[in-house]
Structure 1
Amino acid sequence: MSTSSGVYDVHLGRWTDWSRGQVLGATLTLTRQDSGLLIAFLAFFVALVGTRFWRIVCLILHWSFSKDSPADGVHHQRQAFLRNSSNPESALWTLTDMCLSWRRNATRVWSRLLPLIALALACFVGFILAGGYSSQVTTFGTSEVLLSGANCAFVGDVGVTMNTYGSTIGPMITQAMIAAESYARQCYNPSSAPQSPSCSSAYVRKQLPPVVVDTNASCPFDPKVCQSQRGNLFIDTGFLDSYYDLGRNTPPSQRMQLRRTFHCAPLATENYRVIRNHDAHNESWDASYYYGPPENDMGNGTTSDNYTTRYSSAAYPETEELTENFAWSTERDFGIRTHYAMFWNGTHYSGMSSFNPIPELRPMNGSGSVWIRFLTSDNILFTQQTEDSWYGRDMMSTQVHKLKGMEWGNVTMFRQSIPGSPLGCQEMEQLCFTGVKGVQICGRLGSAPDSVMDIESQMEPEDKEWYIWFMTTTFETMTQARGVVDLLGTRALRARDSLNGPILGSLPEGQWQIEVQHWHATATAHLQETFLRSIIGPSNPELPKLMEVWYPNTTVEKEICASQKVVLEGYVSFSIFAIVCIFLGGGLIILLSLKLESILAWCLTCRGDRTKYSRLEWSANETLQIQRLAHEATGAGTWSRTTGTIPVTKPGDVLAVLDIGEPAHPRLRAPRTEDDRSSGEGERSMDAHGIRYPEH
């Protein structure tokens, strides 16, 4: 399944990711273009916060270093620097320059300035990293988004004619299974990495591997009906959670879990198979298997035949027939017949069974499903004899004199001598449910109907509405492992991948276990697809015209339809909690940087004159106040607001200008006043505005 967003209707805006709770899980989903703007703004905001944080550091240090006793130039320049430094990056250069400039003209220069350099560097690097990682903090690391569920619908088969089923529902189910089988090959194959591009999907988890795969398991049935007591296969999925594994984003009070087990073994044929010859030359025969009689077509009793299935020599081709058309034959394939039985509440349920198993094949706990697959490979010529317990059953050698269309001849090959190699499996399910009380309720491990009845009998009335819609659109429409081969036939056999006409090379000893594990993987992939299909809705717009389609009507049903998480390219989901924390924390730092001076002044008022000097020095070291002090020292201007941010002069006051008579040592020189002229002081120069400056 592609991760392209074209087939999905994504919910843009706010939603809750329930894996993190209602507060921490508050999520904002944006398109990738819009998310780039948000990420850039966050980075800019963090940088702004960094500059304001540096101002707080400078204020605290300035007040800490302030003293009213005489001090050297390093101290006073440090104080002026701390009062006017705007950001840590410019502070690094200024402080470094101060160290180099004063290193021969003052004592303890490095010890006084190096800590400030380290502090500026820490602030600079820290907020650069904070800006870079702000996007990582606010995003969840994946492109998980929520589908809107606008097309959510469930397609039923009530009242559907055979013609309509064959042209609509049937192909839809088969295509879904084909896609699941293809996905299982790509993503559940041990040789394929789930992160590879070929394993691209919208599922929140690319793989749902079983928790137990025992390839040396015991016999799942009565020991005498199994070909071997060990070397069998047991698979346990563990509990697959509707949220964590399948992406249904519901609160903890609306969760379900599914567990499946598969226990399979090749069946013994001794005492369960009868071969009857119909002529003296053994050229006409049939092979009948007795694992329980088949049910009749009405499902209300067994037929008059007491065998499960029968194969005849009439359908068994001669070796020459297989080799005659080798070069262009496309009809050579395996064959599979399946018989299944359901056991419900300790009783064989004939309405959902194709045969009535013998006692040796019945589930020991009286609940579950049993199925047998009969494999025929009489159309296949093996180049080597296989030891596999299913494929290699009843092998015989045969001499091939000539493969038509090929150069080979007089080759010994192998083929199945008696068709119908049986493989028996027992499949069980267990459902768990968490409702409004927050308590997990689990049904028994057995047949699906038994597990469903167990949890429904303990369910609260207020849980039934969402449970019914949830079950109907997901678990009740999924396919068991048996259904994989029922729908796909021999396409579901991995051994078929190596088939070339009627010729097949060597197979590993455990090939049948590879097949069963592939069926399980396909069924699991189909379960993942089922959860998405009910939210996306039918792809065929003609379906509602041909059959009944159920749409969500109630608020609860619509909420469930709008609760499917997927992973899609082109979208980014942000943590609203993290964004709010960044803006709140940053806003507090900005506000504190603007008000800290007033807060400190108010808090330290009780200390009286001991803090007056620090407060006044902070004010006096501001750039414009230093300028005011310089001009005032020359007698220029009559100043007011001398402890504020912006000092001002009286109207008409003129300030000093630079005296560049000594370019290497410029200084301020005040303009000459009328009093100076009347006192006869010498004149030195006159500027372009007619203002004269006295000599010193």
Structure 2
Amino acid sequence: MDAEVHTGIWINHSLGPVAGTTITLPLLNGYLLVSALSLFFIAVGSRFWKILSFVSHQLNATQKATDVQHHQHQAILRNAETSVIAAKEFFVLPFARRRGFQGSSDFRRSALRSWGWTFLALVNLCVWPLLALFSSYITYSAEDDVLIRPGACGIVSDNSSASVFPKAFLNRTVIADVHARNCYRDNASSTSCHIFVRTPLPRSIEYYLGDVESLWYPSQEFYRTDANLALIWLFPNHVLSLDPIDDPFFGFHATNSSKELTFYEADNLVNVMACSDQGQLCNVHSQGFQCTSLTSVTVLEDEYFKLGLNPTQEATVRLITNLTHEIDDSIGGRGISALLASEMVMGLVQDFLPKTQWMAEVRHWFSMGLVNLQYELAKYAIGPPSPLPKGVLLQDPQTPQELNLCRSMKLPNPGQYQSFSILGLSTIFGVGALIIITSLIIEPLAHHAFTKFSIRNDFRRRQWSLDGKLQLQRMAYEHVGIGLDHIKLPTISTQKKNDKHVL
């Protein structure tokens, strides 16, 4: 089932208008976006270090007398542009000062003081790449689905006696049979199951076995006006069983012995199972949980107006009732291949079957109907091949709501696309942009606040300026007698024309 996929922004209403806003990109563009996100995280991490180092420097600024190591820490916090440089300088600092220590205890104390800052820098260095790795949990859409780009949208029906349509119908039944066998059984885990948005469709089954001791006679009640009735006829023909089978539909009890083996023949030449199909529609959002009566699908088309549905919901109901397949649709034209029991037949010998085999068969037929419904809904939006085969009629959407359904069908990602959550991307880029902007304005804002509103903390601003590498350079040159011009900005130093750098 080939479908063209919409690329761009769309809303997955299963997740809501906010969390469901999704952007779908071709696989290559998706990889580029993921790579850009990784680079963005690295850039944000470097700017976050600027915030972290500034805050740490300001919190550790003091007017009290301190030792040399404290000033060295402050100088590293002030001038290390990245956490990698800071981690390296904090780590080697105790070794550079080791000659001035009185003993190993002094070295240990110095190392503990410096390596604490090393650990902080390393944490900042490692956290952001890890966040980049786990960003997929935020940016990737919670449902890996894609929106179908509508083709020749509409319901396909037969308009002639040509053999094209029966062949296509039988082909869909075979597809539904294979999918139901692989995906609707208990503990199904086939990789081929992920071709519809929901597999399997939720369903529940209740069995009414009736009065098992009674005989069945045709009566007026056999004719159901509230259900579609199907009679399934089973002809065992010459199939034998090695074991007795107690299933009421596949009964084998009559013995047929030979010299070496004992076979069991079918209980009846013909077995008949009657199945009634009924449906029900409910409006779960209405007060009192309104539902139609349990009736045939044909009658449902005349009852849904009682549920108070909006025009889009009514269009959805009409589409589902038009495309619903019943049990006889799952069996017609299939012959013995419609039976799960046929998987246990070799030649003319039937392997053992449980006494509930008929239940498994009915479950399978019903599951095939659900698969067919999913298949038909997807084909409604995709449309038939062009040009239309002879004898095939395409019923175009008649209302704006039906046309909108063509534009609202989604399928699981076939693998050539990547879907991202706009909410996740916006959160990452928004928080990242906030960190980058904060790193650019935190210094002037804090220093302006110290100057205007907290004079007693203005020493923090002065220490930040004095610990700058250009100021440290200026003070080092002045200490050895190299004259410098008066500077207006404390972070920028100038040199007179005739000064020489001799240290």
State TM-score, norm by structure 1.
0.66
1:530 paired with 2:389, answer: no
Q: What's the counterpart of residue 481 of structure 2?
A: 635
Residues 132 and 445 of structure 1, relative CA distance in 2, 3 Å threshold: same
Amino acid at match of 1:442: C
Which runs of 5 or more residues in structure 1 are unaligned?
2-6, 229-267, 273-289, 293-357, 401-408, 658-667, 669-696
Alpha-carbon separation, structure 2, partners of 1:608 and 1:378: 101
Q: Is the 8 A contact 1:24 1:575 kept in 2?
A: yes
Q: What's the counterpart of residue 182 of structure 1?
A: 178
Alpha-carbon separation, structure 2, partners of 1:200 and 1:610: 70
Q: What's the counterpart of residue 119 of structure 2?
A: 118
Alpha-carbon separation, structure 1, partners of 2:79 and 2:419: 40
2:462 pairs, out of 609, 616, 623, with 616
Alpha-carbon separation, structure 2, partners of 1:645 and 1:23: 47
Residues 47 and 647 of structure 1, relative CA distance in 2, 3 Å threshold: same
Deviation string, structure 1 residues 230-281 (Cα, Å, up to 9, x no partner): xxxxxxxxxxxxxxxxxxxxxxxxxxxxxxxxxxxxxx5x4x4xxxxxxxxx
Alpha-carbon separation, structure 2, partners of 1:534 and 1:33: 29
Residues 119 and 62 of structure 1, relative CA distance in 2, 3 Å threshold: same
State the 1:516 CA deviation. Answer: 1.4
Alpha-carbon separation, structure 1, partners of 2:29 and 2:500: 53
Alignment of 1:482-561 (within 5 A): 482-539=328-385, 541-543=387-389, 546-552=391-397, 555-561=400-406
Q: What's the counterpart of residue 147 of structure 1?
A: 148
Q: What's the counterpart of residue 55 of structure 1?
A: 50
State the 1:9 CA deviation. Answer: 0.3
Residues 638 and 506 of structure 1, relative CA distance in 2, 3 Å threshold: closer
Q: Is the 8 A contact 2:278 2:296 kept in 1?
A: yes
3-state secondary structure, aligned to 1:583: helix
1:398 paired with 2:399, answer: no
Alpha-carbon separation, structure 1, partners of 2:308 and 2:9: 31
Alpha-carbon separation, structure 2, partners of 1:410 and 1:388: 26
State the 1:618 CA deviation. Answer: 0.9
Q: What's the counterpart of residue 380 of structure 1?
A: 239
Q: Is the 8 A contact 1:638 1:653 kept in 2?
A: no
Q: Is the 8 A contact 1:147 1:566 kept in 2?
A: yes
Q: What's the counterpart of residue 94 of structure 2?
A: 99
Q: Is the 8 A contact 1:147 1:563 kept in 2?
A: yes
Q: Considering only aligned residues, what root-mean-square deviation do their CA atoms show, in Å?
A: 2.8
* Greater helix share, structure number: 2
* Greater strand share, structure number: 1
Residues 521 and 459 of structure 1, relative CA distance in 2, 3 Å threshold: same
3-state secondary structure, aligned to 1:429: coil
Q: What's the counterpart of residue 662 of structure 1?
A: none
1:172 paired with 2:168, answer: yes
Alpha-carbon separation, structure 2, partners of 1:438 and 1:556: 24
State the 1:55 CA deviation. Answer: 0.8
Q: What's the counterpart of residue 689 of structure 1?
A: none
Alpha-carbon separation, structure 2, partners of 1:83 and 1:438: 65
State the 1:19 CA deviation. Answer: 2.4
Alpha-carbon separation, structure 1, partners of 2:490 and 2:10: 49
Alpha-carbon separation, structure 2, partners of 1:621 and 1:475: 77
1:127 paired with 2:128, answer: yes
3-state secondary structure, aligned to 1:548: strand
Amino acid at match of 1:25: G
2:71 pairs, out of 76, 83, 104, with 76
Among all aligned residue pairs of Structure 1 and Structure 2, give the percentage whose two residues are the same amino acid: 26
Residues 87 and 193 of structure 1, relative CA distance in 2, 3 Å threshold: farther
Q: Is the 8 A contact 1:369 1:427 kept in 2?
A: yes
Q: Is the 8 A contact 2:176 2:369 kept in 1?
A: yes
Residues 507 and 67 of structure 1, relative CA distance in 2, 3 Å threshold: closer
State the 1:559 CA deviation. Answer: 2.4
Alpha-carbon separation, structure 2, partners of 1:439 and 1:641: 80
Q: Is the 8 A contact 1:153 1:551 kept in 2?
A: yes
Alpha-carbon separation, structure 2, partners of 1:639 and 1:135: 54
2:280 pairs, out of 418, 426, 430, with 430
Q: Is the 8 A contact 2:282 2:290 kept in 1?
A: yes
The count of aligned residue pairs is 496
Alpha-carbon separation, structure 1, partners of 2:289 and 2:205: 26
State the 1:181 CA deviation. Answer: 0.2
Q: What's the counterpart of residue 445 of structure 1?
A: 294
Q: Find the structure with the greater CA-based Rg.
A: 1
1:562 paired with 2:407, answer: yes
State the 1:653 CA deviation. Answer: 4.3
Alpha-carbon separation, structure 1, partners of 2:81 and 2:95: 21
Q: Is the 8 A contact 1:634 1:656 kept in 2?
A: no
State the 1:127 CA deviation. Answer: 1.2
1:42 paired with 2:37, answer: yes
Q: What's the counterpart of residue 137 of structure 1?
A: 138
Amino acid at match of 1:557: E
State the 1:20 CA deviation. Answer: 2.3
Deviation string, structure 1 residues 362-406 (Cα, Å, up to 9, x no partner): 66xx7333433232213322233222211116x422356xxxxxx
State the 1:153 CA deviation. Answer: 2.4
Residues 382 and 115 of structure 1, relative CA distance in 2, 3 Å threshold: same
Alpha-carbon separation, structure 2, partners of 1:653 and 1:577: 61
